[in-house]
Amino acid sequence: MSTKTRAGALLAALIAVFALATPAGATPPGIPSEATARAELAALTVRADGSMTGYSRDKFPHWVTISGACDTRETVLKRDGSGVVTNSSCQATSGSWFSPYDGATWSAASDVDIDHVVPLAAAWRSGASGWSTSQRQQFANDLSRPQLIAVTDNVNQAKGDKSPESWKPPTTGYWCTYAKMWTRVKYSYSLSVNSAEKSALLGMLDRC
């Protein structure tokens, strides 16, 4: 095998490995580069989590109407899915959804949750407790930042309100992207991080 042929084979192998390590699928808007995420993480205030006193999901109104009959959940299902067909009520009647958190693909919208990358409760204990209801509504329905993503329902339920020091996506190849999304959302909303959370995010960014 010539040097040129070996180089070509090596390049093809590297591309294949990269494709396996970086699952295709939903790509929420606004995901920063690794360098930008590191700069934004460094700019966040580090402090212990605040109290959950007074917290309720009802204080983060969702899902709100986005356009016509479509609410936020239905909008993200259409954005993140492939071949999505909806009825007159904007409900997805068919399509497929790839969950980058665990690498699973689903053909029923009922098997898919819309995850708040930074959970509502996590936002509450890192600064959102002091927001107005309108600010919390914007956060809970944010389609302009990497805050909402369609994923396997039981994976989302296992995550609950945990931060990265306590929960990470099962697919380790997605850790870099997840950390960049989490950091961008916290930075955009001037939310704090605790020390363990920041260490976990740095470790995940090291996989980029």
Contacts within 8 Å (CB) and 24+ apart, 186-190: 186/40, 186/44, 186/118, 186/126, 187/40, 187/41, 187/43, 187/44, 188/145, 189/118, 189/123, 189/127, 189/128, 189/139, 190/127
- Position 27 scores a pLDDT of 77
Specify if 31 maps to a domain. Answer: yes
**Segment among 16-25, 103-112, 135-144, 184-193 with least mean pLDDT:** 16-25
Phi-psi region of 30 (alpha: psi -120 to 50; beta: other; left: phi over 0): left
Q: Tell me, yes or no, whether 17 lies in a domain.
A: no
State the DSSP code for 102: T
Closest CA to 149 of 102, 107, 85: 102
Per-residue pLDDT at 44 exceeds 70 = yes
Residue 9 lies in a domain: no
pLDDT at residue 65 greater than cutoff 60: yes
CA 128 to chain centre: 18
| CA angle, residues 144, 150, 72, in degrees to nearest 5 | 50
Q: Is residue 6 part of a domain?
A: no
Amino acid at 104: A
Task: Quote the percentage of the chain above a pLDDT of 90.
Answer: 87
User: Number of structural domains, the chain?
Assistant: 1
Residue 18: inside a domain: no
In a domain, 138, yes or no: yes
Residue 24 has pLDDT above 50, yes or no: no
Averaged over 15-26, what is the pLDDT? 36
Q: Please tell me the pTM assigned to this model.
A: 0.86
pLDDT of residue 5: 36
Per-residue pLDDT band at 66 (split at 50, 70, 90): very high
The answer, yes or no, to whether residue 207 has pLDDT greater than 70, is yes
Is residue 4 situated within a structural domain?
no
Q: What pLDDT score was predicted for residue 175?
A: 98
Report the candidate in 167, 74, 66, 147 with the shortest Cα–Cα distance to residue 112.
Answer: 74
| Tokens standing for residue 128 | 């959102």
Per-residue confidence band for 1, with pLDDT thresholds at 50, 70 and 90: very low
Residue 12 confidence (pLDDT)? 36
Domain assignment of residue 191, yes or no: yes
More confident: 22 or 56 = 56
Model confidence over 75-126: pLDDT tens digits?
Answer: 999 999 999 999 999 999 999 999 999 999 999 999 999 999 999 999 999 9
List the domain range (segments joined by +) for residue 92. 23-205
**What is the pLDDT, as a whole number, of residue 22?**
35
